[in-house]
Amino acid sequence: MELTKKQNELYRCFLVEKPKILVAAGAKRAGKTHIFILSFLTHIAQFEGQGLSFIIGGATQASIKRNVLDEMELLLGKELKLSKSNAIEVFGNKVYCFDGANADSWKKARGFTAAGALLNEGTALHDSFVKEVISRCSYNGSRILIDTNPENPVHRVKTDYIDKDGQRLANGRLNIKAFHFSLFDNTFLDPEYVESIVASTPSGMFMDRDIHGLWVSAEGVIYKDFNQSIHFITSVEAETVNFTKYYAGVDWGYEHHGSIVVIGEDDKENAYLLEEHAKQHEEIDYWVDVAKRIKERYGNIFFYCDSARPEHVKRFKRERLKAVNGRKEIVAGIEEVGRSFKRNELFIVEDNVSRFKEEIYMYVWNETTGLPVKQWDDVMDALRYAIYTHNYRKIISGRR
């Protein structure tokens, strides 16, 4: 099996230096998970036929299947069927699959004596789950593998394990070893793919994390690729666009501004913010009237709504508006909008917006949480719900 230089380096360390805890952290698509699955299977094979227990941890059962088990099936050349206890049999041993994203997930690993663990998407797992799994790997010769994409540099995966790279036990054995991956370490990727993904990744935090695999704080203005000389157009220019579809995003508010934005999509799948409606201290009746007028102008379009106020979403539906809950994954949604700006696929009709012009420069990261500051985010949230949900629906329907 051919491996990249970085994968070979990690695999040699796994076989020769035998660290108790091995961490692979860095960029997406860099080859981390593949080499860890190979290493994990190598480890299990050393205990062939002994009936021992091993653990695979992931954010959800679905992500474990997608990220780990599907690849494992290809390497083993056979189908792996989960038992009722979410276990598979590998080399005469039981491998239990636990979802570990929630605060009480650690309870699933209680009572185990495991001979090893593979923890996928380490930053997506709850810290108590990670520590419980590690404590359960008490069988002689146990190994723990953690792969992850980077997040905030104060994340526990970094401070508790990566920052302790090279730590040794009293007997001299290597306890923790960490490897850093960038996208460029995966030399099997198509050069055109690499060029494309680099060109379309938003500047700042996303470039540092997703491409270079760095643990950096989210700092400064969020949409660094927004350029008013490029992304602002006039309503006269918008009239020349061949729009093929319309949809809207809704962020409920009262003390904060409520906001509805209308997005038009052209025949090249570029998006245009056509209208902004943002106002404080208005009840749901006001927003129903705004939405009905939008429906009169653009037809029976989808309204992708903040799910935090389910009673408002239900009210829209009672008023025969096509209201659905928008997808609320904050960082993924911001990345989608940021990517649209970087690719010059999102434009703003300048004379139809007001609050957008303020928020776009005031929408900043909170360095402590790694999420946006909850201020100057009302139109930004409505825009995110609209763009991210619409594009996500295109992906799952196979139209993108």
Pairing of strands 176-181, 21-26: parallel
CA–CA separation, 179 vs 167, rounded Å? Answer: 14
* Helix H or strand E encompassing 131: helix 127-136
Tens digit of each residue's pLDDT (9 = 90 or more) over 231-277: 999 999 999 999 999 999 999 999 899 999 999 999 999 999 999 99
Nearest residue to 154 (alpha-carbon basis) of 209, 205, 215: 215
pTM: 0.76
Higher pLDDT, 399 or 324: 324
Task: Return the DSSP state at 328.
Answer: -
Average pLDDT over residues 281-297: 97
Helix axes 378-396, 330-342, angle to 10 degrees: 90
Residue owning tokens 């007001």: 354
According to the model, what pLDDT value does residue 110 have?
A: 85
CATH says 228-396 is which class? alpha beta
Q: Where exactly are the structural domains of the chain?
A: 5-185, 228-396
Q: Give the amino acid at 105.
A: S
Tens digit of each residue's pLDDT (9 = 90 or more) over 64-79: 999 999 999 999 999 9
When the pLDDT of each residue in the chain is averaged and rounded to a whole number, the result is 94
For the structural domain made of 5-185, what CATH number should be given?
3.40.50.300
Q: Would you say residue 105 has pLDDT above 90? A: no
